Structure 1
Amino acid sequence: MADPTLEEVAAELYALPLDAFTRERNARAKSVAAAALGDGIRSLRKPSLAAWVVDLLAREARTDLEQALELGAALREAQEELDAQTLSELTKQRRALVAGLARRAASLADERGVAVSPAALTDVDKTLNAAMRDAAAAAAVLTGRLVRPLDIAGFDGADLDGAVAGDLPETAPEPPRDDLAQRRARKAAERAAREAAQNAGAADRELRAAEAALERARDHADRLRERIDGLRAELSRIEEDAERADAAVIEADRTRDAAARRAAQARRQADVAAAAAEEAG
């Protein structure tokens, strides 16, 4: 059987849990017949946590990721024809979409027992944003072989040097902006902007409802706390009354014992007096 390509081996290794990568990489390097391939496998770097999370997203939620990257391509085609307001709305939508994908990636990692730190989640967000804005970065993300996170600043493309294990996939040049493509992209972008505005309106309504529910809950909690304070005060008064009553019981018991002793003594004296009177008669 022919040896696999370096890219095929890398895709398999980058799908493993991070703590198993080095051990399995070294084992695979020893198992292949071709020395050059073995050297190539041995040189594969362990991915960073953020890169591993993005690779996981590329495998487990590929359809959602591809759809998001297609929207990114449409926005790149249409941006020269769009007005500032529409571009602003689409930028917000892109950010929301990227944030949603980053949360999805973190959730997939959590299902596998891997906690994604805030710093790593920020790198995941930057990587997905770069993929939305740059075709070469998008192709790199879809390989599932990222070694490190990506970033993009200004109008420059993402730096992909050493970012992917194995060869980078070839990317087709951006298509020419003919009128039909521009119209289609503009319609798609305008539709996306309308949907984003609708989503924002729904989110605002949900926020207002949540704030009203929070205010009601706070009022209810305040009333209950006031009632608890009143009951505690009443309980304190009752406990003081009970202590006084207990003291009165003790005092009454002592008084009764003294009276019983006096009564017994008086009966004895009466018996003695009666006996003396009988003898005298």
Structure 2
Amino acid sequence: MMESLAAIARELYALTPGEFIAARNARAKAAGDDGDRPLAARIRGLAKPSVAAWAVNALVRHRFEEVDALLDLGERMRAAQDALDRDALRELGRDRQRMLAGIARSARELGDELGTAVSESAATEVQQTLQAAMGDEAAAAAVRDGTLVRTFSGSGLDPVDLAGAVAVPESLGAEAPPRSRIPAAGGDVAHDPARRPDSAQSPSPRGATGPVTKATRAGGDELEARREARREAKLQAKREAEEARQDAEAAEAELATLDLRIRDTKDERRDLAEELRELKQRVERLHDAVTEADLLAASLRKERAAAQRASDAAGRAATRARQRYEKMP
């Protein structure tokens, strides 16, 4: 089931955040209709990625060479650090800053190409995630998987916290335990269901209250079931809250995109208005020229009429003169 779930996750996390929910629910329904209810439940539990996490996944799919070069640089930096090669570290550090700045630009450009606006803050998260992956092999593997749900950061000293960062952690070969399930100092395991006391881990309460009865065990099972139900409800509420936050982030990014388009439209309108003003002025000049041409044409018509009359009179006079000439003896 894990391989099928991982394959489905990679397909879903290749979609834009706006397409994710509907596609996820459709795949979960299809799995349920096929009778695989556990797989359907796991699919339905896949969380919608944040815009920044989606941007990292998109870079892995569409601009892998840039991501791979950055992660390779991280490996070389770790090797130089192990060798205490300060000169190499300084040079590689300059390359890292240049490449991180470039990957942030690529994330925003790719978001525009794929129809999902990547804000400046989301691009910063992309940088932080890839910078953390440069210094941590597990984080690098999580990035390369292309199914990030959330972004992460790292100090470079401690392992990167990948809890809840990857859609199907099992597909990476090792699942990072959530911090909330790490036992507290002093051996408190009350909130860790994987380490709750049982007959093999804690002394029997027989000495204090008598033998453990079936009713006691049933009560404990019921209590654990209620705890599990509360945990599931809390996780579902957390997923819904995260999806709502991501929807708000996407709406904010869309608003920023619309504001930019409005500014562009205003600039275009201003240019068109200026062009229209110039055209109106040209039309007025042409209208004046047409009027002058009309007046000139009218004047020329009058002159032509006068010339025609003079020509007709001259013709008549010439005819009379020729007739007189012909009558002469």
TM-score (norm 2): 0.49
1: CA distance, partners of 2:156 / 2:82:
16
CA RMSD for the aligned pairs? 1.9
Q: Is the 8 Å Cα contact of residues 48 and 149 (structure 2) preserved in structure 1?
A: yes
2: CA distance, partners of 1:118 / 1:101:
12
Structure 1 residue ranges without an equivalent (≥5): 172-281
Q: Deviations over 1:101-153 (max 9, x none)?
A: 22212211111222211111110000010111111100000011000001001
Structure 2 match to 1:6: 5
3-state SS of 2:153 partner: coil
Q: Deviations over 1:219-271 (max 9, x none)?
A: xxxxxxxxxxxxxxxxxxxxxxxxxxxxxxxxxxxxxxxxxxxxxxxxxxxxx
1: CA distance, partners of 2:15 / 2:88:
42
- How many Å apart are 1:62 and its aligned residue? 1.5
Question: Which letter maps to 1:87?
Answer: L
1: CA distance, partners of 2:39 / 2:155:
35
Structure 2 match to 1:70: 72
3-state SS of 1:5 partner: helix
| 1:1-281 correspondence runs (5 A) | 5-32=4-31, 33=34, 34-168=36-170, 169-170=172-173
3-state SS of 2:157 partner: coil
Instruction: Tell me the percent identity.
Output: 46
2: CA distance, partners of 1:23 / 1:158:
31
Q: Is the 8 Å Cα contact of residues 51 and 146 (structure 1) preserved in structure 2?
A: yes
Q: CA distance change for structure 1 residues 160 and 68 in 2, over 3 Å: closer, same or farther?
A: same
1: CA distance, partners of 2:157 / 2:56:
23
Q: CA distance change for structure 1 residues 94 and 19 in 2, over 3 Å: closer, same or farther?
A: same
Question: Which letter maps to 2:97?
Answer: R
- How many Å apart are 1:4 and its aligned residue? 6.4
- Which one has more relative contact order, counting CA pairs under 8 Å at least 6 apart? 1
Structure 2 residue ranges without an equivalent (≥5): 175-329
- How many Å apart are 1:157 and its aligned residue? 1.7
- How many Å apart are 1:154 and its aligned residue? 4.2
2: CA distance, partners of 1:66 / 1:87:
19
1: CA distance, partners of 2:103 / 2:83:
27
3-state SS of 2:173 partner: coil
1: CA distance, partners of 2:119 / 2:4:
33
